[in-house]
Amino acid sequence: MEEKEFSLWHYIVLGSAGLLSFLALWEIVVGVGLVDPYFLPPPSIIAKRALQMTAGEDAVLPHDIRVSATRVLTGFMLSALVGVPFGVVMGMSPTVRSLLNPIISIIRPLPALSWIPLSMLWLGIDEQQKYAIVFMGCFASILVYTMDATMRVDPILRRAAMNLGASNVQVMRHVILPGALPDILSGLKVVLAIAWTCVISAEMVGANSGLGFRIWTAKEWSDTGQVLVGMISISVTVLILDILFRGIERLLLPWQRKIPGT
């Protein structure tokens, strides 16, 4: 049976209906006493707490979102600026790949949390330390995604371009990058979510602002509503950044066929 193709509005309407139904069920379950509101406040209480943190006397939420997003984007862009070129070179050159693979194999399994003690010793708890945590948490993944994307480009296309007299730079510009770019961008979208994990971990350990700091502080005061506001703020911010990233992706890949729901 052929699947019915939905328009964008169908996805928006169905998604909104599903979300509203979930929130209504959540409100009812807490309201009738099946769940203790101390441990899981209903959406109405969370919305009230979010309003207080946004426009009330305790209006810290916009600042925390801006601080965390700046840390994420700065560390992520730095890691992309270094990781993508190195990944392309490693994908094109077996010699460079053989030299650097052992080093990458050592760095890649290390979680962002493992870099926090060293980064604090080296950089203190200033903004540079947060950027470094995001950078180290993203760099190896971006490098590997880019290297794999470069290696998947059809070698016949590379040989054909070189047989026609193209230089290595021309092969990279006209063959490798257009062929690998879709997979590179897909990898970058995945790593962008990892970047948020890195910065939240760093903010929980040593920071006085940001969503991770706000969540950890709320835990100390048993403010479950604020914890959930912080968590939801992370999800919403990541969703907005993902939408912006998709727009950039469409600009860079105009030849790709638009897929419904993407």
Going from N- to C-terminal start, the domains of the chain cover: 42-251
* Contacts with 165 (C-beta within 8 Å, 6 or more apart), sequence order: none
Residues 107, 199: contact at Cβ < 8 Å?
no
Coil/strand/helix, residue 206: coil
- Report the range out of 153-157, 214-218, 250-254 with the highest average pLDDT: 214-218
Give the model's pLDDT for residue 260. Answer: 46
Q: How many Å apart are CA 91 and CA 143, to the nearest integer?
A: 10
Instruction: Output the pLDDT for position 72.
Output: 92
Distance CA 24, CA 43 (A): 8
Length of the chain: 262
Q: Does domain 42-251 have CATH number 3.40.50.620?
A: no
Is 190 in contact with 144 (CB distance < 8 Å)? no
C-alpha torsion angle, residues 214, 73, 62, 58 (rounded to 10): 20
Lowest mean pLDDT among 5-19, 28-42, 69-83, 135-149: 5-19
* Residue 262 predicted with pLDDT over 80: no
pLDDT at 4: 53
Mean of pLDDT values over 77-89: 92
The token duo for 69 is 């997003």
Residue 209: per-residue pLDDT? 82
- How many other CB atoms sit within 10 Å of the CB of residue 91? 22
Residue 81 has pLDDT above 80, yes or no: yes
When pLDDT is cut at 50, 70 and 90, the band that residue 6 belongs to is: low
Mean pLDDT of 184-203: 88
pLDDT > 70? residue 5: no
Please state which of the ranges 61-70, 133-142, 167-176 shows the lowest mean pLDDT: 167-176
Q: Is the pLDDT of residue 261 over 50?
A: no
Global pTM reads 0.81
Mean pLDDT of 191-199: 88
Give percent of the chain above pLDDT 70. 93
pLDDT band of 56, cuts 50, 70, 90: low
Helix axes 127-151, 94-107, angle to 10 degrees: 140
- Give 245's contacts (C-beta < 8 A, 6+ positions apart): 185, 188, 189, 192
For the chain, where are the E strands, in sequence order?
none
**Confidence class of residue 116 from pLDDT cuts 50, 70 and 90?**
confident
Phi-psi region of 167 (alpha: psi -120 to 50; beta: other; left: phi over 0): beta
Q: Which is nearest to 152 in space by CA: 175, 170, 136, 130?
A: 175
Query: Which one is predicted more confidently, 149 or 2?
Result: 149
pLDDT at 1: 41
- Lowest-pLDDT range of 103-112, 153-162, 187-196: 153-162
Q: Tell me how far CA of residue 38 lies from CA of 35, 226, 234, 259, in angstroms.
A: 9, 12, 22, 43
Q: What pLDDT, on the 0 to 100 scale, is given for residue 74?
A: 93
Q: pLDDT above 90 covers what percent of the chain? A: 13
